[in-house]
Chain A
Amino acid sequence: MTLYDIIFYLFALVTISSAYLVVTVRNIVYSAFSLLFTLFGIAGLYALLGADFVAIVQLIVYVGGILILMIFGVMLTNKITNVQIKTGVFQILPATIGVGIFGGFLLAVLLNTNWLNLNVKDSPATTFQLGQLLMNEWVLPFELLGIVLLIALLGAASIARK
């Protein structure tokens, strides 16, 4: 096991365990804080995969922006800490069977597939290439994303208005 592997498993452990806490913890503030570690762990995984720009964006936008806003929202909402969220488990048997079968298939795929391997350990910085691609070959999806965001804004405004 190399140092790279150890760091990977560390980040993976942080991501998965905090994600588990997000859905099981009864207090919504704890839940929001666990989400912080989940998003942080994912940023670490991106960095390990050589996607430096995506990792930084993940940190700035999700960890730095969206999550802080969410925690503010939670904190400013009156009496929110006293609200008991339902975290019960329903239909345990069918869920176990379903998850078991699906997980088994995924595990089989994971082990039996000859994945394409990219050498990410010493890949160059991606920011410049990403910018070039987004303005050339991928300009159409990039522009489309702008419209998707506009629609999301319009929709959010429409839902929030009386």
Chain B
Amino acid sequence: MEAPLKYIFDSIQYLKPEVAVSIFLAILVTVDLVLGKKNKQVLPYIALAGLVITGYFVTQQFGTSAFASVQHNIGNFGLIAVDSFGNYFKLIIILSSIFIVLFSISSIEIKQVFDRHGEYYSLIFGMMLGMMLMVSSADLILIYLSIELVSLSSYVLAGFTKQSLRNSEASLKYIIYGGTASGIMLFGISILYGIMGTTNLYAINTILQNGAFQPLALIISCILIFTGFGFKISAAPFHFWTPDVYEGAPIAITAYLSIASKAAGFALLIRFIKVTFIQTIGEDGYWQLLGVIDWKSFLIMISILTMTLGNFSALWQDNLKRMLAYSSIAHAGYMLLGLAVFSDQGVMAILIYFLIYLFMNLGAFFVVMLIANKIGSEEIDEYDGIAYKTPLLAVSLAVFLISLTGLPPTAGFIAKLYLFIALVDAKMIAVAIIALLNTVVSLYYYIRVLKHMFLTKPKVEGERITIGIADTVVLLAMLIPIFLFGLYFTPIVNFAKNSIALLGF
């Protein structure tokens, strides 16, 4: 007979961040209930405190490499793998959550639904818990559960304000696409279980290493599972929900979906492919995958399709949110190339890319939100001559967009540089050239916004747009890293280099 609660006590030391998030989720719900209608402005600060404490626990965990929630009957593999790779992504998720809470404080859209703030922050914490488990789970059942937790919260958040038809449409489209995608993924998982007899990725890898596999069933099940992951990272051809949902959702939530939810999806995809299909890692850092599925061609195909579709559709978007949605699809395409290299260098490029992408994409969304707060629109025509009304915002948006294109001296250049180095190093020159051409295409639609802001005369003379001190500080917190990491990037490169290790490999 085992000691009572043994499994909880054994793993709780590795699950401190997750426990902290759950506790703060409960605190948020309770405080909202107790305080009643009047004192809701305290909620975002509780949320911030929770995020800082969770972040502290994650940084404490750096360097640990262990299984949590160990399953003794299947070779001591666990449900959760705690490692530097997962912690890096957890840090990205927490950092973006902090920014999202700050966004929400100054967002008019969110302020209008003041009486539902309790639900809002609780749902954000629920989503965060799901994402933190997504990046570290090593078991298909837990993967499915955490994806479902993220999805459920984001369906509600996408339609949270209920102010416009567009908003409800976003939520409904998201739930229909998302429900289908997770149903298909679950079907794939069930086929995989039917041939493997286990849901643990490490255990599946052991079975595959022994050479016992059935290619047809394995390929079909992996494609079905990829549907679920591809939906989360909005890779083509599973990207159709992205523009509509991004356009309809409140901007703070759009920004959150484009960073955190995507980061969690990428971490999950990398972990799934690496842990399940790896054979050996060479001296030079290149992975030798088991020759069951040609992941390389598959991923290259998907990523080229994704970035090309994203960039070319973005060309004729007149709504800035929609344009940024297509641009985020394109960025997912670039990052998938980093995985398709199948080397430690490629993963490092993805890690660097995500950290920089966090600042530039959040920044772009933040400026769009501040301007929408004042003029109530995200249409590109409304941005005519906005530089004369608000020089700071216009210049910041210009910097973020130039960084998204990937031009020096911004950090976006460093992100792309490391990605291309990884591609060239792996002798994937043709793919690198396609990606480069895509970047050139993206230049057009990013610069088009600058033309509207700086060169076009406004149709009607509006009054100046001013922003408060707090908003300026948040803006600078995203603007400064863009230049800082663009010129002095050794620290983040080293940080990423130290974080590529997955548990066991």
Contacts and interface: CB of A to CB of B under 8 A. Distances in A.
Given A106-B220, A112-B216, A154 B159 contact: no
Interface stretch (B86-94, B149-157, B410-418): B149-157
Interface in B77-123: 79-80, 116, 119-120, 122-123
Residue of A109, A112, A139 contacting most chain B CB atoms (<10 Å): A109
B490 interface: no
B72 A137 contact: yes
Interface string B143-175: 001101100110110011010000000000000
B141 A141 contact: yes
Nearest to B223: A105
Contacts of A141: 79, 141-142, 145
Interface in B183-242: 191, 194-197, 214, 216-217, 220
Chain B interface helix/strand/loop/mixed: helix
A87 interface: no
Given A137-B7, A158-B160, A159-B159, A151 B153 contact: yes
Contacts of A155: 119, 123, 152-153, 155-156
Nearest to B129: A147
A140 B7 CA distance: 9
B179 to A, nearest CB: 13
B123 A154 contact: yes
B73 interface: yes
A151 B195 contact: no
Given A147-B126, A154-B126, A137 B73 contact: yes
A112 B191 CA distance: 13
A105 B68 CA distance: 37
A158 B119 contact: yes
Please tell me the size bucket of the interface on B: 35 or more
A61 interface: no
A140 B195 contact: no
B69 A140 contact: yes
Chain A interface helix/strand/loop/mixed: helix
Please tell me the size bucket of the interface on A: 20 to 34
A136 B217 contact: no
Contacts of A150: 25, 29, 126
Given A116-B195, A139-B7, A147-B126, 15 more contacts: A105-B220, A109-B191, A115-B195, A137-B71, A140-B11, A140-B142, A144-B145, A144-B146, A147-B22, A148-B148, A154-B29, A154-B126, A155-B156, A157-B119, A159-B162
Interface of B: 2, 6-8, 11, 15, 22, 25, 29, 68-69, 71-73, 79-80, 116, 119-120, 122-123, 126, 129, 133, 141-142, 145-146, 148-149, 152-153, 155-156, 159-160, 162, 191, 194-197, 214, 216-217, 220
